[in-house]
A and B are shown apart, each in its own frame.
Chain A
Amino acid sequence: MTTVLQHPAYEEERLQRVAEQLPCRELQAGMLLSLMGEPQHYSYPSIFIYGHRASGKSHVMHVLLKELELPHATVSCVECISVTLLFEQVLLSFFGCDAASLLPRSPSLSDFVRVYRQQCSHSPAKETRYIVMEKAELLRDTDANLLPALLRLQELVEDNVTVILLSEIVWDKFRPNTGCFEPLVLNFPDYSKGELQQILSQDRHPSYSAEFYSSYINILLGVFYSVCRDLRELRHLAALNFSKFCEPLAEGKVKETDTHKLWRNIEPHLKRAMQTVYLREVSSLQWEQMQQMEEKETGALRGLSAHTHVELPYYSKFLLIAAYLASYNPARTDKRFFLKHHGKIRKTKFLKKNEKTSNHLLGPKPFALDRLLAIFYSVVDSRIAPTASIFSQISSLVTLQLLTQVSHDDQLDAPKYKCAVSMDFICAISRTVNFDIVKYLYDFL
């Protein structure tokens, strides 16, 4: 780390402090610093920074602006559900709370620019002011004129102001159809494996050596790197699983240097973490509790998705099975599956199916109510009267979102439905009523 940030307008010491807080981002920070230039000079009207999640976009901006004490307003577009909040926040951080109260009740962009100009004439900018917009992709969903106006804010308010947009999405997807002032587009590249290792190794546990922790990070990256490159996610996983990694050490089974044994101990554990805690099936609190009680096998605790099992009435189960069969089987095969005397099967033609038409790839098809009932009577062995209770069970399945009604044009006459449950779910249901559903599915014939 010999390349320390350099800029004549700022003190060495401060830049040193900035550089310490930005590991592996010296190049980007230096670039930004040189673009921003000296505080009293003009800077480019708008800068657009894109990069993957957790590639340090907000962090670099925050550290730079904070440490160098530049006047700035940081606005998260998630928070600003209306433009009023955005305007208030900008005015508040530049001119104090008096300015924000000058805005009328539902201000337009015109009001904002007017108040800004008025305030600016009282206290003109000695230094470049920065407006940092986080999650800028949400600006596209607001008024169509907000984004173009922000991009040329310097020209509109005639002040030394720079708007910095941070986003995960590339600039091409932002451009309005009549064009706009093009911002300076900068990319924050992803961290490489070595850089991730270096950053993650920084928050090591004080009671263990640095090599020990970095070997742990190495193992962690070996498991997770092919799936996840999000620094925050990896850091979270590293913090959760470290105690398990240290366990054999505490028991005195292995030494710190015995990496292979440590790896053998932790690797299956991390693999299980990918299926559970990475998907938030098991919350991190539960995961920590699970690690405490060793005798209980980790992962034995049922995760979120295991709770999808629902208790249904007997006929509702069959209705759902019938709906699944109706959704995933082509109608022309119904005769063969559900009729007792269906005549001769032309085997060669029947078995010829190509993969493209498999409904388990394409998703469920809509079916009419008549077909559902026909299949229902065929799969249920006893005689059932088509009572109001059967029909109300169908509509309650729709409310439970196990079925979805497809067309809303006619509620009563010949409604069409789709089945919205997964294969595993329906298999579990049919097991409870002793029905072999796979035998009736065309795709698995």
Chain B
Amino acid sequence: MSKRKLKDDHLPVGDSITQVQKILRERFCHQKLPEKPEGVEAQHKHLLELLKRTAIHGESNSVLIVGPRGAGKTMLLNCVLRDLLEDKDVQKNLLQVHLNGLLQTDDRIALKEITRQLHLENAVGDKVFGSFAENLAFLLEALKKGDRSSSRPVLFVLDEFDLFAHHKNQTLLYNLFDVSQSAQAPVAVVGLTCRLDVLELLEKRVKSRFSHRQIHLLSSLTFSQYLERVRAQLSLPGSFPDSKFAQDWNGGIETLCEDKSVEEVLQRHFNSSTDFRSIQMLLMLCLSRVSVAKPTIKPADLLEASRLCLSDAKANMLHGLSILELCLIIAMKHLNDVYEGEPFNLQMVHNEFKKFLHRKSNSMYNFDQPVIMKAFEHLQQLELIRPVDGSSAKTQREYQLMRLMLDHSQIMEALQKYPQCPTDVKQWAMSAFG
């Protein structure tokens, strides 16, 4: 122990870096819960009160947490649950059922999952027996038998709530809300969803049983708060074993955030989105560049990470096309310009390409129709062009109507970046009418 204590104060750089990676990766990748949820104190208080009333006083409740993706819905709920379970009574008393709309795709599966998680009698080990009707009757009976004072409260968490609304007849939602409305066992139904119009999805009878309590997590972040959040996400906690290293690291982060170029980059990200996830992705890319040889995050790392995040994928794909495929795309662009976005087929594209070759006497791109067809099909596989209608089997391949899935500016930009692009091809692309 004593030896450990001695070492604790001053770790070698390699170990410190490992520690930093461990802590920050847990934060960015594993969504480790923060000490205190930031920016959502009011919602946190509201939800905590609500769940406490269910857990302690046996009141039945239902609530929806609504917010865009990456707004911290699960984080809020988990923080509330953590705080709630600190109470010994609650911990002993409260039963939790976690369902996810992605996993429990219909009511039968959901019901089995509920039975399993509640350890009811018809569940042996991990297996659940009985038909859907039996399970439902059994579950409802079990819930009905209970009353407010004696039975243990149950917390239902429905992640991806909107997907539950697509189940047949919304049986599960109806029954859950019905139990929460009538004087049966105390239940709390918490739904998490990213759809703002989620109430429109519910049937009338289900909607009328829902308490219409909604918690909105809409971010109203200013840029200075955003900057503060970035700093908080990157900083090391006080419990870091090597306090000297932590101090240096936090100082480095401080200077990083004050850097002008960094601020510019962050401003750009702030303008495109303000959710937690996009920050974490950016910071994860920065963090991956930290190593023993380079134990700090430099502004250049952030610039590089931002470049990776914001790069246009289609332009990257265009960069790798062969010159023939690029020529076909330019021909398509001209067809789009001339015929104002009408769909085209391979014959038209080839005709347009031939017109270009015709004007240029000494051409090296005299390819046969089958070679051009192969290039055209490659473009279709990359989904840069897409057939207009699905009935592809009926028409010949060269007469199938297609649409270009690229923007004018994307093509021009790709052309500028294309390695060793022939001048005449470039000029052809520039000319207004092919």
Contact = CB atoms under 8 A, between A and B. Distances in A.
B104 A42 contact: no
Interface string A154-185: 11100000000000111111000011111011
A274 interface: yes
B301 to A, nearest CB: 11
A154 B30 contact: yes
Nearest to B395: A363
Contacts of A38: 18, 21
Contacts, number: 172
A113 interface: yes
B102 A228 contact: no
Interface string B371-383: 1001100000111
B411 interface: no
B291 interface: yes
Contacts of B293: 6
Interface string B352-373: 0000000000001101101100
Contacts of A237: none
A404 B316 CA distance: 40
Interface in B337-365: 339, 345, 347-348, 351, 364-365
A282 to B, nearest CB: 12
Nearest to A34: B288
Given A35-B288, A118-B126, A187-B311, A275 B368 contact: yes
B281 interface: yes
A178 B194 contact: yes
B399 A362 contact: yes
A38 B15 CA distance: 12
A228 B100 contact: no
Nearest to A109: B103
Interface in B162-190: 162-163
Given A168-B381, A170-B317, A182-B278, A363 B399 contact: yes
Nearest to A422: B396
A240 interface: no
A361 interface: yes
B109 to A, nearest CB: 5
A42 B30 CA distance: 7
Contacts of B319: 189-190
Interface in A50-84: 50-52, 55
Interface stretch (B47-55, B135-143, B248-256, B320-328): B320-328
A3 interface: no
B113 interface: yes
Contacts of A278: 371, 374
A111 to B, nearest CB: 8
A255 interface: no
Nearest to A227: B324
Given A226-B365, A363-B396, A155 B31 contact: yes
Given A226-B364, A364-B399, A184 B285 contact: yes
A41 B29 CA distance: 10
Q: Pick the most buried of A42, A50, A155: most chain B CB atoms within 10 A of its CB.
A: A42
Interface in B297-313: 308-309, 311, 313
Interface of B: 14, 17-18, 21-22, 25-26, 28-31, 69-70, 74, 100-105, 109, 113, 116, 126, 162-163, 194-195, 277-278, 281, 284-285, 288-289, 291-293, 308-309, 311, 313-314, 316-317, 319-324, 339, 345, 347-348, 351, 364-365, 367-368, 370-371, 374-375, 381-383, 394-396, 398-399, 419-420
**Which 8 pairs across A and B sit closest by C-beta, in order of nearness?**
A363-B399, A190-B320, A170-B313, A34-B288, A110-B103, A149-B102, A52-B320, A42-B29
Given A8-B18, A178-B194, A362-B347, 8 more contacts: A8-B291, A38-B18, A55-B320, A114-B113, A145-B103, A227-B324, A275-B368, A362-B348
29 contacts: A8-B291, A34-B288, A34-B291, A35-B285, A37-B21, A37-B25, A42-B29, A44-B28, A50-B313, A50-B317, A52-B317, A52-B382, A110-B103, A143-B105, A156-B102, A171-B313, A172-B314, A178-B162, A181-B277, A182-B277, A184-B281, A184-B284, A186-B308, A189-B316, A192-B419, A274-B371, A361-B347, A362-B345, A362-B399
